Each structure stands twice: as structure tokens, then as C-alpha cells.
């Protein structure tokens, strides 16, 4: 049975290791203390290299796999939770680059070529997932070069990567809410523990009251804090997580829709079909057909 690793001590993440450098490169595995619902003032370019699971960016819930590439803006809450078996872990799951607004605030006035990156940074405030396989392949190569170089050479590879991202039109904006609506350091810890608990139990009946009790909070107060931090009500958040799981099951296998319904945490097929139609604009069967068609087209192009 899949279970998420526990996540502890989430908070605002203060990156005090810039050491005067323009960008910070990091990589880490899973589980890892850095895997938590958090936000920071820096942008984050995030490449998944191993494992699959759920991504939470602002009020967005989706799936990630090896090769998933995201860009998040300043103070936009985010987290990636891998679905693992037992004590399974990954020594390296993420490659990421953090950089602040300061890098691009003044440089376009000196280097006009960098102006093309500014619209990308505006989009990043809602979170971006890049979809082009060719772009992701190039990004993976450049992230490797960034990892193994220092100084101006590292910065040069980073700028090449940013230009490639800025000129791509194969991307999706993720969160309907911006960082200004969601970032709240006081509530991040409780929200992270709530998300962790929901992720572990959304496959069964799960009530707001149960999660509030787990956090030792009154249901009405928990409901208000949770919506402020995630941009979604508890019920909407859980339903979106379940629909995200159902999309994963529909795309990856031939299980009957009824089985997908129950494995995703819904307890009746009519409610599942209604929620799926509301969120995806199509039936589960239509989604499966489109997913198979898209995969076939990708394989033909590769």
C-alpha cells in the first residue's frame, strides 16, 4: 500500500546561504526535511529526477513523475510528496535552483537580452509546469551542468536555461491564487500537518472534524485557517486530491471506472462522475481516451 513519508517542522524557509551568489543550486532525496508545505522569497526551478507523487502549488493539486519541471514564484507555497512503498526512499529526487528578484531587477537595464525573461517571472507567481519533452530534456542537461560548475560558468548555463523556459509556449499555469493570497507564516505549520494527514487518509471517508481533531483545533477555526492557507475549502481540497488520483489511475491502466472511483476515495459513482465533470470538463472515460491518445502521440514524436 502506498503511503507518504512523514513530514515534520514545516515553516517559512529562510535561505541564508546565498554567500553573495546570484543563484543557489541544491539537490536532495526523499524522504528529506526539505519536503514540506512551505514558501520562501526566492523563485524555485524544480526538476524531479525520481519517483512519482502529488504536487501542491498554491491551490493547485496535480501529479508529478520523473522529468516533471516546475517554476514557482516568491512566497508561493509548494510541496512535492512522493508515493512510496514501505520504507522506500530515493537518494536523489530533486534538482533545484533558487534565485531572487534581485537577479533580474536591474540586469535588464544593463543586459537588454534578459528582458525576455521578465514575462516568465510574472507567470511564475502562479506556478508553472513545463510540458515540452524536448525542453525538459534540455533542462535536465543544463541542470546537470549547473550542478557541476561554479562562478560565471554556472550563471551562464542558468541564463541559457531561463531563456529556453521563457521562449517555450508549452506550459500550464497552475494556481488560481497568487502568493499574496496564500503565504502566511503563522499557519504554514498547521496546514502542512493537515495536508500530510489528508494525503495519508484521503482514500477513505475523511471528515473535516477528524483532521481538526488530529491537529487539536476546533473545526470552524481549522476550516478558516485551511482555506486561507490553501485557497480551497477542506471539501474542495480533498475532492481535487481524489480527482487527481483518479486521473493518474485512468491514464496508467485499464481499471474499470467504478474501481477507479473507489480507489480514489469516492464512495459512490454518481458523485465521482459529477465531481470529475466539474473539475475536468469531461467524463472519466473521455479523459482516459484523451490520455491514451496523448501518450501515443508523444511516443510517435520521440
**Residue 104, SS3 per DSSP:** helix
In terms of C-beta density within 10 A (0-12 exposed, 13-18 middle, 19 or more buried), how is residue 230 classed?
A: buried
User: Does 240 share its domain with 106?
Assistant: no
More confident residue, 114 or 217: 217
User: Does 294 share its domain with 272?
Assistant: yes
Pairwise CA distance, residues 47 & 26, whole Å: 11
CATH number of the domain at 291, please. Answer: 1.10.10.60
44 within domain boundaries: yes
User: Does 150 share its domain with 279?
Assistant: no
User: Does 151 share its domain with 201?
Assistant: no
54 within domain boundaries: yes
DSSP letter string, 267-300 = S-HHHHHHHHHHHHSS-HHHHHHHHHHHHHHHHH
pLDDT the model gives residue 9: 31
179 within domain boundaries: no
User: Does 165 share its domain with 191?
Assistant: no
Pairwise CA distance, residues 217 & 237, whole Å: 18
Segment 91-149, tens digit of pLDDT = 999 999 999 888 887 766 667 788 889 999 999 999 999 999 999 999 999 999 999 99
Q: How far is CA 253 from the centre of its chain?
A: 23
Pairwise CA distance, residues 45 & 117, whole Å: 14
Other CB atoms within 10 Å distance of the CB of residue 85 = 8
User: Does 76 share its domain with 139?
Assistant: yes
178 within domain boundaries: no
- In terms of residue numbers, what domain contains 287? 184-298
User: Does 92 share its domain with 232?
Assistant: no
pLDDT the model gives residue 19: 64
53-57/69-72 β-pairing:
unpaired
What does the mean pLDDT of the chain come to?
A: 86
Pairwise CA distance, residues 270 & 276, whole Å: 10
Segment 17-55, tens digit of pLDDT = 556 688 999 999 988 877 888 888 899 999 999 999 999
**Of the residues 111, 139, 173, the one at which a domain ends:** 173
Pairwise CA distance, residues 85 & 72, whole Å: 28
- Number of domains composing the chain: 2
pTM of the model: 0.77
Q: What is the DSSP letter of 117?
A: G
| Residue 12 banded pLDDT, cuts 50, 70, 90 | very low
The rounded radius of gyration (Å) of the Cα atoms in the chain is 20
Q: Are 71 and 125 in contact (CB under 8 A)?
A: no
Segment 64-75, tens digit of pLDDT = 999 999 999 998
Pairwise CA distance, residues 276 & 243, whole Å: 6
**Of the residues 121, 154, 173, the one at which a domain ends:** 173
User: Does 153 share its domain with 128?
Assistant: yes
User: Does 165 share its domain with 208?
Assistant: no
User: Does 122 share its domain with 64?
Assistant: yes
Amino acid at each position: 500500500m502506498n503511503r507518504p513519508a512523514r513530514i515534520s517542522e514545516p515553516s517559512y524557509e529562510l535561505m541564508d546561504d546565498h554567500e553573495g551568489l546570484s543563484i543557489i543550486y541544491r539537490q536532495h532525496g526523499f524522504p528529506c526535511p526539505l519536503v514540506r508545505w512551505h514558501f520562501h522569497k526566492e523563485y524555485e526551478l524544480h526538476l524531479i529526477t525520481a519517483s512519482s507523487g502529488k504536487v501542491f502549488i498554491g491551490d493547485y493539486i496535480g501529479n508529478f513523475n520523473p522529468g516533471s519541471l516546475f517554476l514557482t514564484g516568491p512566497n508561493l507555497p509548494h510541496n512535492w510528496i512522493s508515493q512510496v512503498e514501505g520504507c522506500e526512499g530515493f537518494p536523489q529526487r530533486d534538482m533545484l535552483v533558487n534565485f531572487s528578484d534581485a537577479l533580474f531587477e536591474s540586469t535588464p537595464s544593463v543586459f537588454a537580452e534578459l528582458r525576455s525573461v521578465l514575462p516568465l517571472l510574472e507567470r511564475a507567481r502562479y506556478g508553472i509546469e513545463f510540458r515540452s519533452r524536448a525542453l525538459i530534456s534540455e533542462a535536465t542537461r543544463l541542470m546537470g551542468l549547473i550542478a557541476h560548475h561554479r562562478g560565471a560558468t554556472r550563471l551562464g548555463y542558468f541564463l541559457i536555461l531561463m531563456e529556453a523556459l521563457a521562449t517555450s509556449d508549452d506550459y500550464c499555469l497552475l494556481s488560481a491564487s497568487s502568493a499574496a493570497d496564500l503565504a502566511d507564516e503563522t499557519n504554514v505549520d498547521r496546514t502542512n500537518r493537515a495536508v500530510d494527514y489528508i494525503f495519508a487518509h484521503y482514500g477513505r471517508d475523511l471528515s473535516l472534524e477528524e483532521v481538526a481533531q488530529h491537529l487539536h483545533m476546533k473545526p470552524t477555526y481549522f476550516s478558516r485557517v485551511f482555506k486561507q492557507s490553501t485557497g480551497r475549502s477542506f471539501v474542495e481540497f480533498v475532492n481535487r486530491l481524489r480527482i487527481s488520483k483518479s486521473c493518474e489511475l485512468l491514464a496508467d491502466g485499464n481499471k474499470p471506472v467504478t474501481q477507479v472511483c473507489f480507489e480514489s476515495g469516492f464512495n459512490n459513482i454518481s458523485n465521482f462522475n459529477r465531481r470529475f465533470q466539474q473539475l475536468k470538463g469531461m467524463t472519466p472515460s473521455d479523459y482516459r481516451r484523451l490520455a491514451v491518445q496523448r501518450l501515443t502521440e508523444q511516443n510517435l514524436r520521440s
